Amino acid sequence: MKLSIIIPTRFGIPRQLRESLSNQTYKPDEIIEVIGSALTIQRNEGIKVATGDIILFIDDDIILSRHYIEHILDTFDTFPNAMAVTGNVQTLAYRQNILWDIYSHIFMLTHRAKGRFQLSGFPENYHKDIENAVRGEMLYGCNMAFRRRVFDEFSFCEDLDCRMFGEDDYFAWLLTRKYKIYYHPFAFCYDNRLYPRGKQALKVRHTLMNLVKRYHSRNPNFIGKIAFWWAYSGFIIFKIVEAIVMRDISIIKGILLCFKKYEDKPREEIRKKIRIKWQNL
């Protein structure tokens, strides 16, 4: 299988990611660097020029384990019905504990389980004790691979605020209504970002607004609507508690920004500024 890797980025591929790609046991056939400022548009533009049978999207702030690509492609080989595969993300900045596990179960928020979408619309993460490739429904946006023909029917949503924040969950939800998604626990990638103290206002605002947009597009039944708004209120409460515990007023600012009008730049204006570069290892 021919493999294309698409990396949306604002400032270019960091050295650590480039080195982790060079050290892979299986080398990609092409690496496409899409420089811009709107994630879903960057991904869609990358798809247009990619030539691989498998298209892998990775964020520019992660590092891949040496056998990452090998595990992803092995999953496609092992499961012919797999239309998408995602790997195991190790995140240092956000560590979940038993209190979060209890709270997230009560409010039907994201927690470790089988990687399925809950009645609330919030996805589960994959449990840390999974030892083999398994079917799920959730995709980690920082690393997700697809068979090329997926994009004959689907594209990343460009109507979300800021063209990002929750786009991976929405795409996975759409895809899994028709196709099979798999998770490989040994396809490790590492997100080494520090906790973004003082820089979360816009992220919180866009996340909250996009949750509502995705909720409306799913058109849930009466029970689903109750479950969503229950989870949504729990999410807001959690963000307020996080702001207090972490002493991060930017989170509160983000919640308040939901009451202000926000206008994205027109898509075509964004597309004109996107630059695509092919990278060699």
pLDDT > 90? residue 94: no
Contact at 8 Å (CB) between 202 and 251?
A: no
Q: How far apart are CA 268 and CA 166, in angstroms?
A: 22
Q: What is the mean pLDDT of residues 2-27?
A: 95
Average pLDDT over residues 70-79: 98
Transcribe 44-59 into DSSP letters: HHHHHH---SEEEEE-
280 band by pLDDT with thresholds 50, 70 and 90: confident
What pLDDT score was predicted for residue 173?
96
Distance linking the first and last C-alpha atoms of the chain:
18
| Strands 143-147, 180-191: pairing kind | unpaired
274 near 45, Cβ under 8 Å? yes
Which residue in 218, 250, 245, 248 sits closest to 231, CA to CA? 218
Name the band, by pLDDT with cuts 50, 70 and 90, for residue 266.
very high
All CATH 3.90.550.10 domain ranges of the chain, comma separated, are 3-100+108-195
Query: How many angstroms separate the CA atoms of 51 and 4, rounded?
Result: 7
CATH of domain 3-100+108-195: 3.90.550.10
- For residue 262, what pLDDT band results from cuts at 50, 70 and 90? confident
